[in-house]
Amino acid sequence: IAAGIVCARYGLLPGQQAVRAPVATVEGRVYRISQFGSSLVEAGAFLKNADELRTAKGSRAILRLAGGRQVEIGERSDISLARSWRGTTFDLKQGRLIAEASDPGQRAFYVTSGDLSVPVRAALLSLDSGAKGSRVAIARGSARIAQGQNVFDLAAGQQSQERRRAELL
C-alpha cells in the first residue's frame, strides 16, 4: 500500500507519466517549491508531475507544452502541475494565469482553481484566483466550465466569477 501511495504521489502509475513542461521564458524570480525547500527556476528548466511554482512580485514565466500550447503565469502566482488519467492540469492556488491552445484536434489540458475546472482546447483564456474567489475570462474560442456541480459554456468575450464563502473560525 505504501509503495502505491508513493507511486501515485510522484506520478509513477500508468496514466500518470511524468509531465515535462519546459519553462520557455522567465522574467524576474520564479521558484520551484518542494517538501525540501525552494529553488530558483531558469528558462530551459523542465517541470515534472507534482511540481509547484511561485512567482515573485513583478515576475512572470511562460511554460510550453506540446503542440504550441502554453501557459503564462503572472506575478505573485502559485500553481502546481499534475498529470492524471484525464490529462495535464495546472492548479492555480492564487494569482493569474493565461492559457492558450490553438489546435482543436489535440487533447485538452486543464486549468483549475478551487472547484472551478476549465479544459483548454482551441481557446485563449485568463484565470484569476484570489481571496474572494476565481474568475475565468475567454478571449478567443470557447470553453466548457465546470464549477462544482454546474457546467456551462463560455464564448469569446464572456467571463464567469466564482465567489468563495467566508469561513468563520
Tens-place pLDDT, residues 14-38: 655 566 688 999 999 999 987 788 8
Tens-place pLDDT, residues 77-88: 999 888 776 778
Predicted TM-score of the model (pTM): 0.80
Encode 8-21: b = buried (16+ Cβ within 10 Å), e = exposed: eeebeeeebeebeb
- As a whole number of angstroms, the distance between CA 29 and CA 42 comes to 8
Q: What is the DSSP string of 89-122?
A: EEEEEEEEEEEEE--TTSPPEEEEETTEEEEESS
The helix/strand/coil state of 7 is helix
**Type of residue found at 74:** G
Q: What is the DSSP string of 35-75?
A: TTEEEE--TT-EE-TT-EEEE-TT-EEEEE-GGG-EEEE-T
Q: What mean pLDDT comes out for the span 58-68?
A: 88
Tens-place pLDDT, residues 115-161: 888 989 889 999 999 888 888 999 999 999 988 888 999 999 998 88
